[in-house]
Amino acid sequence: QVQLVESGGGLVQAGDSLRLSCAASGRTFSRYSAGWFRQAPGKEREFVAAIRWSGGSTYYADSVKGRFTISRDNAKNTVYLQMNSLKPEDTAAYSCAAALTDWGLHNPGAYGYWGQGTQVTVSS
């Protein structure tokens, strides 16, 4: 069992930066791949970024590539999402998730554990 708690969301202006954190407790988090997803009102959940537990390879949605960076600190059992050059269309509830697999990390179905989410609102 893994418990995930996100933090770092807030209200910012377009062009600003935010760093989201996802703190994990429970089993050895270093053995889990991690991902960030977001969901805006009236829209489906969308993949944002993921990082493999083995090797640390990272993956990004095209919409955030070059602006967002996912990283992890296994010593702190924490995954981060650094978001730069934020746009109003980035406004959503952001959730982190943990998976025991290295594959299909863009798919929400790959993840067995989810946090409760943190709201990011970007004003124009």
Task: Give me the phi and psi of 47, to 5 degrees please.
Answer: -70, 140
- What type of residue is 110? A
Encode the chain (124 residues) as per-residue pLDDT tens digits. Answer: 899 999 999 999 999 999 999 999 876 788 899 999 999 999 999 999 999 987 789 999 999 999 999 999 988 999 999 999 999 999 999 999 999 988 899 999 999 999 999 999 999 9
- The residue whose two tokens read 């990283």 is 71
- The residue whose two tokens read 């969308």 is 46
Residue 11 parent element (H or E)? strand 10-13
Whats the size of the chain, residue-wise? 124
Query: How far apart (Å, rounded) are the C-alpha atoms in residues 52 and 42?
Result: 30
